[in-house]
Amino acid sequence: MTDRPNQGPGFHTLAVHAGASPDPATGARATPIYQTTAYVFDDADHAASLFNLQTYGYIYSRLTNPTVSVLEERIAALEDGKGAIATASGHAAQMLISFVLMQPGAHILASNKLYGGSLTQFTNTFKKFGWDATLLDPDNPADFRQHIRPETKAIFIESLANPTGVIADIAAFADIAHEAGIPLIVDNTSATPYLCRPFEWGADIITHSTTKFLSGHGNAMGGMVVDSGKFDWGQNDKFPSLTRPEPAYHGLTFYETFGDLALTVHGHAIGLRDLGATMAPMNAYLTITGCETLGLRVAKHCENALAVAQYLEAHPAVNWVSYPGLKSSKYYDLHQKYMPKGAGSVFSVSLKGGYEAGLKLVDALELFSHVANIGDTRSLVIHPASTTHRQLDEKAQIASGAGPDVVRLSIGIEDAADIIADLDQALAVAMRA
C-alpha cells in the first residue's frame, strides 16, 4: 500500500487538509459546524436546477450539508475513492448501499466473520425487505464462487474482522465478484485507510462505522459509504436503480448521467432522501477533527495491541489470542500483505474458564471501560456472547468467533505497561473464580 494515493499528497497531509479550506465568509480555519436545516436559493431557477440535479448545491440537510461534505471528501481522499455518502451510523451505511443494489428477491454473499450486529442485520432484518443473505467462511474465498446465484448482487466482507481479527484475502474476493459482474463491498472500519486501502486490491465499495477509529474518541456516531467510481454498473441488468430511468427525477438515468459518480449521487438524492439516515453536522465536525490524527492514533493503537497480544498469548489463563499481528496467527501473512503497518487493535481472547471467567474478567478490569464500542482512545472490553452477539445461538456465536469463552478487547493509546498491568490483575481474579 502506498502512502500517496494517486501520487498526490501523503496520508497525513490528506488527513488534515482533504476537503477543507478556510471559510470564505469569515476566514475561519477550522471547518465550521453548519447547524442549519435548509439553505436560501438564489432565485426560482436556481431552486429548480438544484431539485432537478442539474446544479450542485445545498437544499436541505437531510441530503447534503457543508460540514458533512468536508468529511465525505476527506474520507474519500483517504480511501482513494471517487465519492462518499455520510450516514447516521455504520449500520445505516450498510442499509443505504443495500438499498441501492437490492430489490425484493435479491441475494448477497457475506462473510460469517462480521460484527454481530451486521450478522443480525443480514440474516434477520434483510428478510423484511425480501432480501436473502448467505454467510460463508472468509478463509475459503472459492466457496463464495460456488454460492453465487443469478440474483446475487454483491459480496460483503470485513478487511479486518471484528472481533475475530480475521483478515480477508481482498484480491481473491474481488476476482470472484468481478467474474460474476457484481461489486465487492469491504467494511474497512477496524483497519481504517491508514492500515488498508481495499480499492488498491480490487474492492468496489467501502463502508465504515465512522463512530470507531475515524472519529476515534467515542463521542460521535456516523457511517460512510465510499465508492471507487470504477465499477461498470451498465455491464448487466443487475442494478436497475442506477441503470434504468428514475421516475422521481423525470426519467433521469443515474449511471448514464453521472458516470463514475452515479452511486454517490444516488446515495444522496434518493438514499438519504428516502431513508433519512443523515449524519448530524456536529458528528461530522467531531469526526473531521478525529481524522486529523488518525494515522498517529492508529500507529499507537497497533503498537500497544501487539504488546498486549504477546503478553496474553503467554498467559496461563488464556487458550488462544486471535490477533493477526502475532507470528503464530494463520493470518500473519495476509497481515503482511494487506496491512503491513499494523494489524489493528481489536481482537479476541479465549479464556480457559469459559463464560463465567469472561464475565469475571470484564468486571475486574479497572483501566478498561466495559462498553459496546471499539476504536476509542481508551482501552475497551466486552464479552460478546452476553452482549453484542447474544442474539445469536451458541453455534452461530462460535462460528462468528464470539463463543462463550471469548472476550473482545479494543486496545487504546494509554501506556502499554498500564494496560497489561490491568489485564494481569483482572486475569488473576478470573482464574480464582
Write the pLDDT tens digit of every residue in 160-195: 998 889 999 999 999 999 999 999 999 999 999 999
Average pLDDT over residues 53-73: 96
Per the domain annotation, does 1 fall within a domain? no
- Answer with the one of 260, 290, 320 that is the final residue of a domain: 290
What mean pLDDT is predicted for residues 284-294? 98
pLDDT digits (tens, 9 = 90+) for 105-146: 999 999 999 988 898 899 999 999 999 999 999 999 999 999
Q: How far apart are CA 396 and CA 139, in angstroms?
A: 17
pLDDT value for 1: 44
Q: What count of residues does the chain have? A: 433
Please say which residue of 257, 290, 323 terminates a domain. 290
As a whole number of angstroms, the distance between CA 23 and CA 31 comes to 7
Give one DSSP letter per residue of 65-116, joined into a string: -HHHHHHHHHHHHHTT-SEEEEESSHHHHHHHHHHHH--TT-EEEEESSS-H
Q: 323-354: per-residue pLDDT in tens? A: 999 999 999 999 999 999 999 999 999 999 88
Q: How confident is the model at residue 387 (pLDDT cuts 50, 70, 90)?
A: confident
Asked if 102 and 229 sit in the same domain, the reply is yes
Mean pLDDT value of segment 266-280: 97
Distance between CA atoms of residues 325 and 319, nearest Å: 17
What percentage of residues in the chain have a pLDDT greater than 90? 89
- Rounded Cα distance between 417 and 425, Å, is 12
Supply the range of the domain harboring residue 418.
294-432
Tell me if 97 is assigned to some domain. Answer: yes
Residue 370, domain CATH: 3.90.1150.10
Same domain? 177 vs 134: yes
Q: Read off the pLDDT of residues 388-408 as tens digits, 9 standing for 90 and up.
A: 767 777 887 777 677 889 999
Kindly state whether residues 28 and 41 are assigned to the same domain.
Answer: yes
